[in-house]
Amino acid sequence: MKNLALLQRGLAALCRFAIGVVFFALIAVVTLQITTRTFGLPSPVWTEELSRYLLLYMTALGIGMSLMTGELVNVDLLQETVSASRAWWMRLIAAICTAGLGAVMIWPAWKFTRIGAFQQSPSLRWPMDIIHASVLLLSVMLFLFALLRVIGMIAGNDDGRPHLSEEA
């Protein structure tokens, strides 16, 4: 099961890198907006739109790591009041349900993405399937990270508790 942990760490590292790239682009776009507005220059119309799209991709790329680090909504107060074995089962059931939710979302997200091929963004004139793919990416990431947690818990490599971000 070392391969599982390696896969999880590799996927988390890839997501972290991609979030960094997207965040850098967001900083550049917002800096352009602020700079042009501060000095009375005409602000490019596409900056508002692009910043929204970048935020969508940051969310999609970060959802799996948020699950692993416990930054998503969690009912740990209840888990602290029950025995360790019951808390483990609660975390396992929650992880299975989360993986199920991610899996169920993939097909509709794929259809939503395909619909975007027939549309263009208002100011950037990009095909909307590029933007809609962020929902598909979110669904896949949620499913993958939750599935990895379930497999890790069943294999005994993961207790289902939040991990530090370096271990996610």
Which residues contact residue 1 at a Cβ distance below 8 angstroms, ignoring those fewer than 6 apart? 152, 155, 156, 157
Residue 136's pLDDT is 97
For residue range 89-103, what is the model confidence (pLDDT) as tens digits? 999 999 999 999 999
Q: Give pLDDT tens digits for 101-152.
A: 999 999 999 999 999 889 999 999 999 999 999 999 999 999 999 999 999 9
Question: Which pTM value belongs to this model?
Answer: 0.89
Could you tell me the residue ranges of all domains in the chain?
Answer: 2-155
Q: pLDDT tens for residues 37-82?
A: 999 898 899 999 999 999 999 999 999 999 988 887 776 778 888 8
The 10s digit of each residue's pLDDT in 8-25 is: 889 999 999 999 999 999
Does residue 59 contact residue 26 with C-beta atoms inside 8 Å? Answer: no
pLDDT > 70? residue 166: no
